[in-house]
Amino acid sequence: MAKLKWFATVMLVFGLTTSAQAQYPAKPIEMIVAYSAGGVTDLTARIVASFMEKYIGGRTKIVVVNRPGAAGEIGFTALAEAKPDGYTIGFINTPTILSIPIERATKFTWKSYDLLGNLVDDPSGFSVHKDSQFRTLKELQAYAKANPGTVTVGTTGVGSDDHLAMLAFQRAAGVKMTHVPYAGGSMVRTAVLGRHIAVASINIGEAMQYVASGSPFVQLAQAGAMRSSVAPDVPTFKELGFDMESNAMRGVAAPKGLPPEVRKILEDAVTKTAADPEFQAKMAATFSPMRYLPPAEYAVALERAEQLLQKLWSEEPWSPK
């Protein structure tokens, strides 16, 4: 009898968690991350989730779900195809959210989502070993010009923002370098540390964390429009006379067609999260350069980045068509 009672209680708990849609959120919210656990987006997402829980209020629970694969395509597709009921939200990342639909037919574009706000803007950048022969970007350019194809540049893969940054630099500087793709940013760093490659094309956040930890790493330049908050002393490519920009933006989105009241709740939660000093401290500690953009401005930024990528694709495709 006691067992039966227990069983009934269990059933009741199940019933409660699945029915009752009256007040949002009535059940846990899934936050899809299109990359594996342990990556930068995953780390940001887990921090963001804990703050959004607080600001949505009540007993809200946000569960981070990793749907890695195909450079983000699997997760982005899952997010775009989820029911727009506010119980599935997720992170979208540039440039992949823009570049994958340019490369091939996909079930999503950035317009498949209700944007909730951008949080991170991590510029690409070039780093070298402390004992490298290149002390400045100009030296790198001069050497690469004199010795085409000999400067090795490590990136996180074909079509990544690091790769796009390398392509952009080649065009802006009029040089030809050798692309050496790796499966992850940490492998690129290791390769520079062991002097197996000359230049690491990695995001400035990751690079600065590495510098801060005491590794023999030097930043040559960063590829944002302006200097990033995490690296105020590193010049931008533009300042140095190379007309190029490349960055990785990470923001929160939901499948298109959220009910207006749910959308409002989620947008507010993102806004408040971004403004929370404790959150900002955590982002600074993890070297994630913040750049909060409300949905409308986020859309403008994505639109602009998409046009730039389309132009690049038509002139110099970054991956086999």
Partner 1 sequence: MDVLNNLVFGFGVALSPENLLFCFLGTFLGTLIGVLPGLGPTATVAMLLPITFYLPPVTSLIMLAGIFYGSQYGGSTTAILVKLPGESSSVMTCLDGYEMARQGRAGAALAIAALASLFAGIVTTLVIAVAGPPLADIAILFGPVDYVALLTVGLIGAVVLAGGSIVKAVAMVLLGLLLGCIGTDLSSGEKRYTFDLVVLYDGLGFVPLAMGMFGITEIIASLDETGGRGRAMASIARLWPTKEDFRRSWPAALRGTLLGGALGILPGSSATLSSFASYALEKRISDRPQDFGKGMVEGVAGPEASNNAAAQACFIPMLSLGVPPNAIMALMIGAMMIQGIQPGPLVISSQPALFWGMIASMFIGNVLLVLLNLPLIGLWVRLLRVPYTILFPIILVFCALGTYSLNNSVFEVGIMAAFGVIGYVFRLTGCEAAPLMLGFVVGPMLEENLRRSLVISQGNFMVFVQSPISATLFALSAALLLLMLVPSLKRKREVL
Partner 2 sequence: MSDEPNPVADSSGPHVSQDIVAGSMFVLFGVLGYLFSLQLSFGTAAELGSAFLPRLVSVLLVVIGVGIAIGGVVKSRAAIAFHSPRPLIVVTFCVVLFALTLETLGLVAAILLMVALSGLAGERRGVVTTLVLGVALSLTCVAIFIWGAQLPIRVWPV
Q: Is 209 one of the binding residues for partner 1 (CB under 8 A)?
A: yes
Instruction: Look at residue 71 and give the partner it binds from partner 1, partner 2, none, a contact being a CB closer than 5 to 8 Å depending on partner kind.
Output: partner 1
Instruction: Look at residue 18 and give the partner it binds from partner 2, partner 1, none, a contact being a CB closer than 5 to 8 Å depending on partner kind.
Output: partner 2
CA distances from 298 to 108, 161, 263, 291 (A): 17, 18, 15, 10
Instruction: Please give the structure tokens belonging to residue 124.
Output: 């690409």
Among 30, 103, 114, 122, binds partner 2 (CB under 8 A): 30
CA distance 303 to 300: 5
Which among 10-18, 167-175, 253-261, 281-289 is the span making contact with partner 2, rule CB under 8 A?
10-18
Among 10, 16, 20, 284, binds partner 2 (CB under 8 A): 10
* Binding map of partner 1 across residues 219-258, x = CB under 8 A, - = no contact: ----------------------------------------
Q: Indicate the residue among 81 and 303 with the shorter CB distance to partner 2.
A: 81
Instruction: Look at residue 257 and give the partner it binds from partner 2, partner 1, none, a contact being a CB closer than 5 to 8 Å depending on partner kind.
Output: none
Find the distance separating the first CA and the last CA of the chain, reported in whole Å: 67
Instruction: Look at residue 142 and give the partner it binds from partner 2, partner 1, none, a contact being a CB closer than 5 to 8 Å depending on partner kind.
Output: none
Q: Indicate the residue among 73 and 245 with the shorter CB distance to partner 1.
A: 73
Which among 90-98, 172-180, 226-234, 257-265 is the span making contact with partner 1, rule CB under 8 A?
172-180
CA distance 110 to 98: 7
Instruction: Look at residue 285 and give the partner it binds from partner 1, partner 2, none, a contact being a CB closer than 5 to 8 Å depending on partner kind.
Output: partner 1
Q: How far is the CB of 30 from partner 1 (least distance, A)?
A: 10
Task: Return residues touching partner 1 (CB under 8 A).
Answer: 36-39, 42-43, 46-47, 49-50, 64-71, 73-74, 77, 149-150, 152, 157-159, 178-183, 186-187, 189-191, 193-194, 196-197, 209-210, 212-215, 282, 285-287, 318-320
Note the residues at the interface with partner 2 (CB under 8 A): 10, 14, 18, 28, 30, 63, 65, 320
